Every structure is written in C-alpha cells, then in structure tokens.
C-alpha cells in the first residue's frame, strides 16, 4: 500500500502527504469503492478521456 501511495503521489506530482487531497485517492476495485465510498479508479478520469476521444 505504501508503494502504491508513493506511485500515486508521483503521478500527481505531489511530493508529500500534506499536498494530497481526498480527490487524489481512488479505489482499485468496485468492492473497495462501495465500502470506502471513493471513486473507482476507472471512473476518475472518465470525463477527461471522453473529451479527448470526442473532440
């Protein structure tokens, strides 16, 4: 879990926990999304991806 958090922080270009917000965290499975009420990872950038694909 720690390594995954480090990778996510690097991807967000945020170098310390104080710069992360709850919106930077996503659930990796549908079950985890249901339990934690976090967005499922596949839904995080869904709107942005549609903008890119449908100009």
The predicted pLDDT at position 50 comes to 80
- Confirm whether 14 is domain-assigned: no
Measured CA distances, 23 to 4, 5, 39, 54 (Å): 16, 13, 8, 25
How many domains does the chain fold into? 1
Closest CA to 24 of 1, 37, 41: 41
Range of the domain at 33: 22-55
Per-residue pLDDT tens digits for 15-48: 666 777 777 778 889 999 999 998 898 888 787 7
- Confirm whether 29 is domain-assigned: yes
The model carries a pTM of 0.53
- Confirm whether 30 is domain-assigned: yes
Q: Report the alpha-carbon distance of residue 33 to residue 27 in Å, rounded.
A: 5
- Confirm whether 8 is domain-assigned: no
Q: How many CB atoms sit inside 10 A of residue 27's CB? A: 19
- Confirm whether 15 is domain-assigned: no
């Amino acid at each position: 879990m720690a390594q995954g958090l480090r990778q996510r922080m690097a991807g967000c270009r945020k170098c310390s926990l104080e710069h992360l917000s709850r919106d930077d965290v996503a659930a990796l499975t549908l079950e985890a999304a249901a339990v934690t009420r976090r967005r499922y990872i596949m839904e995080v950038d869904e709107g942005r991806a549609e903008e890119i694909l449908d100009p």
